[in-house]
Amino acid sequence: MIVWQQHSDNPENGSNLAKITKFWTSLNDRKIAWRQRLVPQTDINAIDWEPQRFDEEFKLQNPQIRGITLYWYKPDLEQERSTTPHKLELDIQQLQLYIYPQSQKDLVIRVGIPEIVYQKIEIANPEWESSRSGENHILTLRDKQQRIEVKLTLTPENLDRLREQIVER
């Protein structure tokens, strides 16, 4: 995590802001996910980043940092938007920038490349059958009520890992 904080005496603070600026400007003309959440009093890791009603996805236009203020445009809006943070955190692994605005100390904004959202299917006590195809193992799960069939093709290595995890639990 690359962190910049206003009034910090961290000797890396300036270079961290430069790295964050480079990331912010690299988002120009890219589709981003913009999410705002209240910061919990207890644990910031408890924030639910799952998509919610007022979250936005849009192509970020002309993102800049001038001084310590982040500027940008949204498509189809002529007015430049801005926010001045008291803290910025860049998760370079997940390509997410966390902005803590000066004006709202209890708010965090997460800006980044939209993540892949997987369709989740829950099957309780499915019917199942197993078979082999060459060296691979095929496991078929069925839920007649939902009319879902899932076919898993497992390599010998994946099958061994699955067995280990089932035995551990």
Task: State how far the Cα of 91 lies from the Cα of 119, in Å rounded to an integer.
Answer: 25
User: pTM value?
Assistant: 0.70
At residue 117, the pLDDT reads 67
Block means of pLDDT (10 residues each) for the chain, length 169 residues? 96 97 97 94 82 92 97 94 97 94 94 81 91 94 91 94 86
The backbone torsions φ and ψ at residue 17, rounded to the nearest 5 degrees and listed phi first, read -65, -40
Report the CATH fold assignment for 2-112. Answer: Protein Yojf; Chain: A; (2.70.180)
In the chain, where does the domain assigned CATH 2.70.180 lie?
2-112
Per-residue pLDDT tens digits for 102-151: 999 899 999 998 877 677 888 989 999 999 999 999 999 999 988 899 99
The partner residues of 60 in beta bridges, in order of sequence, read none
Supply the DSSP string of 94-135, one letter for each residue.
TTEEEEEESS-TTEEEEEEPPPP-------SS-EEEEEEETT
Task: State how far the Cα of 19 lies from the Cα of 88, in Å rounded to an integer.
Answer: 11
Give the helix ranges, DSSP H, for the chain. Answer: 13-26, 156-168
At residue 130, the pLDDT reads 94
Neighbours of 90 (CB within 10 A): 23
